[in-house]
Amino acid sequence: MKTDIFNGKAFSGNIDRETEKLVERFVSIQGRKPKLLIIDPTQSEETKVYGRSKIRKADKLGIETFPLFLNSPGSNGNPLEIMENIISEVNPDGIIVERPYPYWLDSFYIEQIIPEYLDIEGISIKSQGKNMIGYPYILPATADAALRIILSLGEDHHKDVCIINRSTIVGRPLAMALLNKDFTVTVCHSKTRNLKEITESSDIIVSAIGKPGYIDESYISEGASLIDIGTTEVEGNIVGDVDFNSVSGKAAFVTPVPGGVGPVTTSVLFSNMMKASIDRIEERLNF
């Protein structure tokens, strides 16, 4: 069997072209560039690298960025108060808060203080709640990227999907979104006992466990589609959860790492931001 390899660059390029049109429309109405506030509390060099890549992407799309690096409490004041003040000062059209959150930053509080209309990551309480009851507005970007890729395959919506991740930014929102599309979904995690039995009987496998090469040919059925969200650095290289050499020839479709879900996720962030911004403008104009 020939294994089709997903081209994340081409796929994300299509999303970017639509986003550019929305940016142009925004500027024509508002008379300014859309503004994105990027809050980084992680103090992580890796996150700073990802942040710079988002800034470059935003610049290409015509979006103005405002990076904010939060320090731990006591160094420069209360970080949450600083964050609220910056949001008020910048008056952005979208907000990103980089992960993983440090121990001193209450994720629940973050998810409450970010207004739903600025939540381009889909992490606010309202955004998550709407997804759970079947009325999603904005999904977390990685889950949204995986969903778009799956739907692009033209798969029968009655197929079985196994998601190996139960986080609130990948596994859970993706599971609900797929259920809303009539897929049959099984969510697995580190405590799942019969993982191989579940994956072998699944048409589509989404893996985000961060174990390099964990999913090999023994975990999949002939003709399965594999969405690899895992990213782990191994000897200076970024490696996914799927052992590509092992599954090649048995899987029908694989997203590579790097170059697969990653670039789509970044493009989805800006797509979400601009769609939400235009929706707000149109709502105001039609009021």
Q: Which residues are annotated as a binding site for NADP(+)?
A: 165-167, 231
Q: How do 160-164 and 184-188 pair as beta strands? A: parallel
If DSSP codes are grouped into helix, strand and coil, which group holds residue 118? Answer: helix
Binding residues: 165-167, 231
Q: Which positions ≥6 away from 232 have C-beta within 8 Å? A: 210, 211, 212, 238, 239, 240
The tokens describing 244, both together, are 């590509």
Please calculate the CA angle 117-259-158 and round it to the nearest 5 degrees.
Answer: 70
The secondary structure of 103-115 as a DSSP string is TTS-HHHHHHHS-
Q: Distances from the Cα of 37 to the Cαs of 54, 124, 143, 221, 284, in angstroms?
A: 11, 16, 21, 44, 22
Tokens 């995986």 sit on residue: 146
Enter the DSSP assignment of 66.
E
- Burial (CB count within 10 angstroms: exposed 0-12, middle 13-18, buried 19+), residue 118: buried
The secondary structure of 205-231 as a DSSP string is EEE-S--TT-B-GGG--TT-EEEE---
